[in-house]
């Protein structure tokens, strides 16, 4: 989280014109894919309200993209509380509004303390639509509900982006991966931020222990294999060269996307770090170009071509 207050963050989040473009220009950012900040639609327990807010948010974002089509693109907000409505809204956002995929802020609330994860059978048709559209699905973090995760009690410094975001999102992603989702939908592409929410750095032990005690796991392949075929990682908010190198060693440079996480992280921090990676020649020039731009171009221009 950046060190500025909420008033500043709110202003930056809502600025979809001059201020955001000036920030991009100052640091050499060619294109930004925009989305709602967390938890957004996922924290609206009433499905009808979630549908209404998602539709209005997507329309507002589409208007901003239309004003600056060479600089902005959009990720759809989805009312995942209602899988059929989420499918309809994703289809509209991709087919009619021209969005590049969807960004969903973790689990959705269906009551004050009840949540739903997307490996549930009710989402099978939704995932089929995601695959058919060729629309990448970004699983973005949110904090776990306090009533469901008392382990954070009296330890507020571990909530949010410091730790709880990654732990919650990694578990959700692993539910999807190990459920057999990518066996049923092999062209489906999942995006995880923050260089993978810790998963790539634990994947050997994860696969090693599952092999020893599979306990009826539905997935036909290892987690590592799915990472290399069905998951992209972004650098958002994780500007560490050794961590980047570890991610590349597990999944390959062709599955890493440069990202900032603005305005929750400073653009200058992301760009300065990546420039240092370039100057240090920590990676071959071709891999650096892949991460900086080419992987994103390949992924986000392949919609409806799969």
The per-residue pLDDT for 302 is 66
275 CB-near residues (< 8 Å, 6+ apart): none
Taking the whole predicted model, whether its pTM rises above 0.85 is answered as yes
Say which residue the tokens 């908010």 belong to: 237
**Residue 291 in contact with residue 253, Cβ under 8 Å?**
yes
Q: Which two tokens stand for residue 115?
A: 């949540």
Per-10-residue mean pLDDT for the chain, 306 residues long? 80 97 97 97 98 98 98 98 98 98 98 94 98 98 95 97 98 98 98 98 98 98 98 98 96 98 97 94 92 97 60
Q: Residue 78: how many CB atoms within 10 A of its CB?
A: 31
Q: Which two tokens stand for residue 188?
A: 């489906």
Q: Residue 67: how many CB atoms within 10 A of its CB?
A: 11
The per-residue pLDDT for 282 is 81
The per-residue pLDDT for 303 is 60
| Rounded-to-integer distance, Cα 62 and Cα 68, Å | 10
| Rounded-to-integer distance, Cα 153 and Cα 159, Å | 9
Active site residues: 261
Domain architecture of the chain: domains with CATH:
6-300 (3.20.20.140)
Say which residue the tokens 């509209």 belong to: 92
């Amino acid at each position: 989280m950046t060190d500025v207050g909420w008033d500043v963050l709110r202003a930056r989040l809502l600025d979809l014109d001059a201020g955001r473009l000036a920030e991009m220009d100052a640091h050499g950012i060619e294109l930004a894919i925009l989305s709602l900040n967390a938890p957004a639609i996922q924290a609206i327990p009433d499905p009808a309200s979630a549908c209404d807010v998602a539709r209005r948010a997507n329309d507002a974002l589409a208007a901003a993209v239309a004003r600056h089509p060479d600089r902005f693109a959009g990720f759809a907000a989805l009312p995942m509380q209602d899988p059929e409505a989420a499918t309809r809204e994703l289809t509209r956002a991709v087919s009619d509004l021209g969005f590049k995929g969807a960004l969903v802020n973790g689990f959705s609330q269906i009551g004050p303390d009840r949540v739903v994860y997307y490996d549930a059978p009710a989402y099978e048709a939704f995932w089929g639509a995601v695959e058919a559209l060729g629309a990448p699905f970004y699983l973005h973090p949110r904090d776990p509900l306090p009533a469901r995760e008392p382990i954070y009690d009296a330890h507020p410094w571990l909530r949010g982006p410091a730790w709880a975001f990654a732990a919650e999102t990694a578990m959700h992603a692993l539910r999807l991966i190990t459920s057999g989702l990518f066996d049923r939908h092999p062209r489906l592409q999942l995006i995880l931020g923050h260089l993978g929410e810790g998963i790539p750095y634990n994947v050997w032990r994860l696969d090693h222990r599952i092999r020893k005690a599979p306990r009826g796991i539905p997935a036909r392949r290892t987690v590592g294999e799915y990472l290399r075929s069905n998951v992209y990682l972004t650098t958002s908010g994780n500007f560490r060269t050794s961590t980047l190198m570890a991610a590349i060693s597990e999944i390959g440079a062709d599955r890493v996307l440069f990202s900032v996480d603005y305005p929750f992280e400073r653009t200058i921090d992301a760009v300065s770090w990546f420039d240092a990676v370039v100057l240090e020649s920590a990676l071959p020039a071709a891999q650096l170009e892949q991460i900086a731009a080419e992987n994103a171009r390949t992924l986000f221009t392949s919609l409806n071509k799969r």
